[in-house]
Amino acid sequence: MKPTVFAQPFEPLGCAACRNKTQLPFDFTMAYQPIMDLQTGRPFAYEALVRGVDGQSAATVLSWVDESHRYRFDQACRVKAIELASRLGLAALPGCRLSINFLPNAVYRAETCIRATMEAAKEFAFPHDRIMFEVTEGEQVTNGAHLKSIFNEYRRQGLITAIDDFGAGYAGLNMLVQFQPHVLKIDMELIRNIDQDPVRQAIVAGIALVCDRLGIDIVAEGIETTQESEHLRSAGIHYQQGYLFAKPGWETLPLASGGA
């Protein structure tokens, strides 16, 4: 197995250092998209999605990131997501989680790389046990043991873990065999037109059965139609995310008062 290689020396950052973006050649902000709990009609979580300060997409911002500042960018995203979410009042929403995507290949040692996150949670009065970290499928993780150690450390710290885009890219059954997160998010390609597609229905039902046996919560991503939502709800998948409910809100919390 090929080990993870980092292009810069390890230098753990604190919260204050991550808020100072002078060493990044660009600035950024966050948009938030709700993950709805259809049983309560309220957001189960808000996913923080990076955006440019002039409205640039996540893909554009990520294209600005290179090996020389990958670690600092990952750390700064965590702090920015917590700081802005706290300012927008997310911590006041009962039980609502803050979901943050992270770059596993930017984490050197989980126990030290998490320091800025925990400092930010304390500084901005955000309960750390309501912070959920999603493994983004945009980066291939060649060192499974390294990612497992990250998840184990995050669990030890009382954080929530999630696998994003399950069923697409690098996020598949092999990843699930190595570590079992608190939450699994099913990729939108498996959800699209699921109410009309028996193949997708069978695959998602199988994923749901596995997750039920392992005690993992499921989120269905990319919901765009009422028919998709209702089919998934009838299959017992009550946590759903997609444009049917709300598009990402630039520096706002859509549907923060509840109501799908």
In angstroms, the Cα distances linking 160 to 45, 74, 99, 174, 181 are 11, 18, 9, 20, 8
Domain boundaries, the chain: 15-187
| Region of poorest pLDDT, from 105-109, 147-151, 181-185 | 105-109
pLDDT (tens digit per residue) in 221-244: 999 999 999 999 999 999 999 999
CA–CA gap between residue 64 and residue 79 (Å, rounded): 19
Q: For domain 15-187, is the CATH number 3.20.20.450?
A: yes
pLDDT in tens, 21-41: 557 899 999 999 999 999 999
pLDDT at 15: 45
Tokens encoding 206: 């199988």
Express each pLDDT in 163-192 by its tens digit: 998 987 655 787 788 889 999 999 999 999
**d(Cα 256, Cα 49) in Å, to the nearest integer?**
16
pLDDT of res. 168: 77
